[in-house]
């Protein structure tokens, strides 16, 4: 994953979300973990969890909910979707396609 930024882009967070299962082998398998239960200081999974609990994470969860609504064919008026949210929704779709 490379170095973890203080302020990740939505695209990077989506990429990490799709690859969540491969981000960390677990504290027992991680050579940098201080013990068998604590993640290392650079743990990308712990980082992702922290980001998802931040204000950015709340916004990204809203985008995931919007994606569900669109996919489930709920009536979503594009005029009601702020442009920044539209761009994040597009990034979510692009990262999903790249993951497949």
* Domain ranges within the chain, ordered by starting residue: 10-99
**Angle subtended at Cα 10 by Cα 66 and Cα 70, rounded to the nearest 5 degrees:** 15
**17 neighbors 48 (Cβ within 8 angstroms):** yes
pTM of the prediction? 0.86
Per-residue pLDDT averaged across 2-16, rounded?
85
Which residues have a Cβ under 8 Å from the Cβ of 42 and sit 6 or more positions away? 4, 32
Task: Please state the length of the chain.
Answer: 100
19-41 pLDDT per residue, tens:
999 999 988 898 889 988 888 88
37-93 pLDDT per residue, tens:
888 889 999 999 999 999 999 999 999 999 999 999 999 898 999 999 999 999 999
């Amino acid at each position: 994953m490379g170095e973890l930024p203080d302020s990740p882009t939505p695209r990077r967070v989506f990429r990490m979300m799709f690859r969540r299962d491969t981000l960390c082998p677990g504290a027992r398998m991680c050579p940098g973990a201080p013990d068998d239960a604590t993640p290392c200081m650079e743990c990308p999974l712990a980082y992702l969890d922290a980001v998802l609990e931040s204000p950015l994470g709340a916004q990204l969860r809203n985008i995931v909910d919007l994606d569900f609504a669109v996919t489930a064919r709920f009536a979503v008026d594009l005029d009601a979707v702020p442009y920044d949210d539209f761009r994040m929704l597009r990034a979510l779709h692009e990262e999903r396609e790249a993951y497949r």
